[in-house]
């Protein structure tokens, strides 16, 4: 019996991946690396430092841990600037309605985002009231595909993993949900998210009647 829903942020509620992409592309150009949208897929759901490492691997570039920290901070400065323009209209269509319908049926709802900037994004979208709890990148040691973030969200809601369903758009996130022992709805393409129990094209396509047949 599903009693709680856990939502990823980037790619499930809003396309912040676009803002991550333009900030990483700007940084990559400093290393003469042409970061493409295909490369950007590899960065979804993984931590800031891991994202930088993936980009550096593309250019066969080695940096000290100190320099990695410096460049990751530089990218984050741009990202933080870019997201200030986020407006509530950017939230994916049908998402507030889906979450509200879950709440109306007494399900508890959590946000679980690897992003350390998730609280600011949620504030800009003006949707704090939709979540019973929020877990972000500042609260965890291991990022997806490690299950830590989803297990923390479930324990904060007071449910065991088998009572939770995760909505995820990244392969690393689907793997994390499966490793946590939770049901998973993938948002995106079945080729990429094949390990999920069900894959839908857009979060707003999900119908609450599908919850207990996952």
- Catalytic residue annotation: 8, 10
Smallest separation (angstroms) from ligand B16 to the CB of 20: 5
Residue whose pair of structure tokens reads 């990218």 in the numeric block: 75
Smallest separation (angstroms) from ligand B16 to the CB of 53: 11
Segment lying near Mg ion (by CB under 5 A), choices 7-15, 74-82, 97-105, 176-184: 7-15
Q: Is the dihedral of CA 110, 134, 23, 195 positive or negative?
A: negative
Q: Is 135 helix (H, G, I), strand (E, B) or coil?
A: strand
Six-digit token pair at 141? Answer: 């040691």
Dihedral-angle region of residue 39 (phi above 0 means left; psi in -120 to 50 means alpha; beta otherwise): alpha
Smallest separation (angstroms) from ligand B16 to the CB of 106: 26
- Rounding to the nearest 10 degrees, give the CA dihedral for residues 44, 47, 53, 58: 0
End-to-end CA distance of the chain: 10
Q: Is the dihedral of CA 43, 181, 149, 206 positive or negative?
A: positive
Q: Of 5, 6, 11, 199, which lies in the binding site for Mg ion, with binding defined by CB under 5 A?
A: 11
Q: Which residue is nearest to Mg ion (CB)?
A: 11
- Of the two residues 104 and 135, which places its CB atom closer to ligand B16 in the complex? 135
In the shown chain, the binding pattern of residues 138 to 157 toward ligand B16, with x for contact by CB under 6 A and - for none, equals --------------------
Residues 22-61 that bind Mg ion (CB under 5 A): 45
At 50, phi and psi to the nearest 5?
-65, -40
What DSSP element (H or E) covers 58?
A: helix 48-58
Query: Is residue 137 involved in binding ligand B16 (CB under 6 A)?
Result: yes
The binder of 116, among ligand B16, Mg ion, none, by C-beta within 5 to 8 A per type, is: ligand B16
Residue whose pair of structure tokens reads 């100190």 in the numeric block: 66
Segment lying near Mg ion (by CB under 5 A), choices 53-61, 83-91, 164-172, 198-206: 164-172
| Residue numbers at the binding site for ligand B16 (CB under 6 A) | 8-11, 20, 43-48, 51, 76, 113-117, 137, 170
Binding site for Mg ion (CB under 5 A): 8, 10-11, 45, 169-170
């Amino acid at each position: 019996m599903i009693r709680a829903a856990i939502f990823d942020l980037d790619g499930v509620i809003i396309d912040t991946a676009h803002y991550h992409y333009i900030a990483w592309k700007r940084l990559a150009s400093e290393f003469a690396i042409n970061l493409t949208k295909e490369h950007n897929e590899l960065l979804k759901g993984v931590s800031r430092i891991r994202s930088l490492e993936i980009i550096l691997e593309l250019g066969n570039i080695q940096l000290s841990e100190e320099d990695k920290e410096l460049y990751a901070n530089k990218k984050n400065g741009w990202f933080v600037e870019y997201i200030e323009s986020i407006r509530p209209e950017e939230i994916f269509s049908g998402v507030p309605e889906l979450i509200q319908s879950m709440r109306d049926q007494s399900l508890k709802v959590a946000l679980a985002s690897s992003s350390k900037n998730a609280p600011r994004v949620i504030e800009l979208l003006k949707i704090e009231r939709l979540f019973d709890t929020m877990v972000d990148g500042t609260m965890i040691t291991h990022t997806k595909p490690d299950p830590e973030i989803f297990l923390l969200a479930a324990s904060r809601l007071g449910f065991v993993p088998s009572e939770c369903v995760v909505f995820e758009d990244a392969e690393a996130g689907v793997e994390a949900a499966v490793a946590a022992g939770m049901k998973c709805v993938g948002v995106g393409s079945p080729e990429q998210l094949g390990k999920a129990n069900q894959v839908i094209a857009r979060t707003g396509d999900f119908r609450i009647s599908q919850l207990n047949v996952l």
